[in-house]
Every structure is written in structure tokens, then in C-alpha cells.
Amino acid sequence: MFTDSHCHLDFTEFDADRDELIKRCAQLNINRFIVPGITAKRWPRVLELCQKYQNAWPCLGLHPWWIAKATDNDLIVLDQMIRKNDIVAVGEIGIDGVIEDIDKQTEYFVKQLHIAKKYDLPIVVHHRKSHQLIVSELKKISLPKSGIIHAFSGSYQQAKAYIDLGFKLGIGGTITYPRAIKTIKTVKKLPLDSILLETDAPAMPLNGFQGEINSPEKITDVFQQLCSIRTESPEKVQQAIEQNLLQVFNLE
Ligand SMILES: [Zn+2]
């Protein structure tokens, strides 16, 4: 069985054929989906979707791209929603070094780390040119549950800093691009017990599919690419990845 450990199934791109998509995934043995919420406005939709599809699991968080508009009230609502619903992680949260207002991003990242700590939940982290900032905040707060560094790209040294803090790395379509030399080299060396698979659909199309809507169905392509990079057998890789997933998320 495969799991897409990060896909935005709630996005409107999937409105036209979401039921069919889930069926097509089942035929490919892709049977679980972790669905991160990105803004307060979208959280109810993520919860609704995960109620409808029993194999979709919700995370709620304020994504750094939309932090400019986020308010303290959103954090209060987040706290309440987590208390009232079965959420598997706080996410997607993080710091994006390419967009503006690193201070507000950091403030909201840290406040959401505290919510994760309060509810004993793992986190799903967005990064871009921000490894140092994120690692330094993670070191300051000791989280009872770690989580996933989503769409990891970077050096082995950067990966190691997260692994040392107990985190796993979400590996997605990036490794299908031959130009991602540094990340591919890192993924080759990573301990197998630190890897999870994800698509980030509908974003981040794989190499050869640029300009198209990405889909959780592509998780099998990411898996094949991962196996071509690793030395272990595909059976061993697949088994390890599902085990890793269950170490991060409580999917009961
Ligand atoms: Zn995402």
C-alpha cells in the first residue's frame, strides 16, 4: 500500500473528479492521503473532505504564504478546531525565505509550534531557503512529537539537522528532475527510516508533466524514482516508508 503523505485534495482543481480520482488511486494501491490545511478559511473544507473519505486524514495550520493576512483570532480558532476534531498534525506551517515578512512568518510558526506541543501533535513543515531559521526555532522548543519536513530539498547536512531532531523528510517530485543533483545525492544517503513519500498535488508536477495539475496518482512514479536512487529492494523501501508514516501520524 502507498500513502500520499502530503496532498491538497481539498483544492478546487480536484472538484470535478475527486471521487473518480480516489478510485483511480485505489487501483494503483494508493490508499491513504494526508491533507494539510493552509488557511483558516479552508480548514472546514479539509475537515469535511476527511469526513467524507475515510482514508483521508486532516492536518490544520496557517501556511507561510498566507501569513500576511493571518490574525491572532485564526490561532484561537485553530486551537478550538484541534480540540474538537481528530487532527493528525499541525500543518502546513513553516517559514518561506523567499516571500516577505520573515518576522510575522516566524512569529506564527512559533505560535503554531506551541499549539502542536499543547496537543501532543506532530507538525508538517514548509521550507524554502529557510532551513537555518526553522532548525533554530525547532531547537528552542522541544516538541513531544516531531513531524515531517515537507518537500525536502537540500544537502545531507541540512537533512541531518532535522533527522537529529527526530523529523522525517517528505520526498516528492523534486527527485524526478535531473537538475536536482544536490537533493538526489542527499536522498541516496538518507537513513531509510527518515523517508516519506508525497506529491504536494495539485502543485509540484513531476518532470515531464510541467504545466499540468499534479495528482496523488503520481506517488507511484515518485516511488519508482526513489527506488532507482536507493540500493534497497523496492519491497523493502515500500515497507519502510509505510512504517515511517505510522511513526509520525496516529492513523487510527
Ligand atoms: Zn503543500
29 C-alpha to center of ligand 1: Å? 22
Residue 29 has a pLDDT of 97
Centre of ligand 1 from the C-alpha of residue 152, in Å = 11
Note down the domain range covering 192: 2-248
Going from the Cα of 6 to the center of ligand 1, the distance in angstroms, rounded, reads: 6
Concatenate the DSSP letters of all residues of 93-157 into one string: EEEETTSS-HHHHHHHHHHHHHHHHHTT--EEEEEES-HHHHHHHHHHS--SS-EEETT--S-HH
For 214-246, the pLDDT digits (tens) are: 999 999 999 999 999 999 999 999 999 999 999
Reported as a single tens digit per residue, the pLDDT across 124-164 is 999 999 999 999 999 999 899 999 999 999 999 999 999 99
pLDDT for the residue 252: 79
Q: How many domains does the chain have?
A: 1
- Determine how many CB atoms are found less than 10 A away from the CB of residue 210: 8
The mean pLDDT of 103-119, rounded to a whole number, is 98
pLDDT at 43: 97
Q: What does the block give as the cell for 18?
A: 475527486
Specify the 3-state DSSP secondary structure of 173. helix
Nearest residue to 172 via CA among 225, 208, 124: 225
Instruction: List phi, psi (to 5°) of 98.
Output: -95, -25
CATH value at residue 208:
3.20.20.140
| Dist. CA 224 → ligand 1 center (Å) | 21
CA of 7 from ligand 1 middle (Å) equals: 6
Q: How far is the CA of 150 from the centre of ligand 1 (A)?
A: 7
Give the pLDDT confidence score for residue 176 in this predicted structure: 94
Question: 33 vs 6, 22, 201, 213, 216, CA distance in Å?
Answer: 7, 10, 11, 17, 8
Query: How many Å lie between the centroid of ligand 1 and the Cα of residue 231?
Result: 28
The closest alpha carbon to 199, from 176, 172, 175, 177, belongs to: 172
Residue the block writes with cell 493576512: 69
| Cα–chain center distance at 41 | 19
DSSP H stretches of helix in the chain: 18-27, 43-52, 72-84, 102-118, 131-140, 156-164, 181-189, 219-229, 234-248
Report the separation in Å between the CA atom of 8 and the middle of ligand 1, taken as the mean of its atom positions.
6
Per-residue pLDDT at 67 exceeds 90: yes
d(CA 228, CA 225): 5
Separation of CA 201 and ligand 1 centre (Å): 8
| CA pair distance 166, 148, nearest whole angstrom | 9
Q: Ligand 1 centre from 91 Cα, in Å?
A: 9
Average pLDDT, the chain: 96
Dihedral, CA of residue 25, residue 16, residue 174 and residue 61, to nearest 10: -100
Buried b (16+ CB within 10 A) or exposed e, 195-206: bbbbbbbbbbbb
pLDDT tens for each residue of 156-203 = 999 999 999 999 999 999 999 999 999 999 999 999 999 999 999 999
- The answer to whether the CB of 190 falls within 8 A of the CB of 221 is no
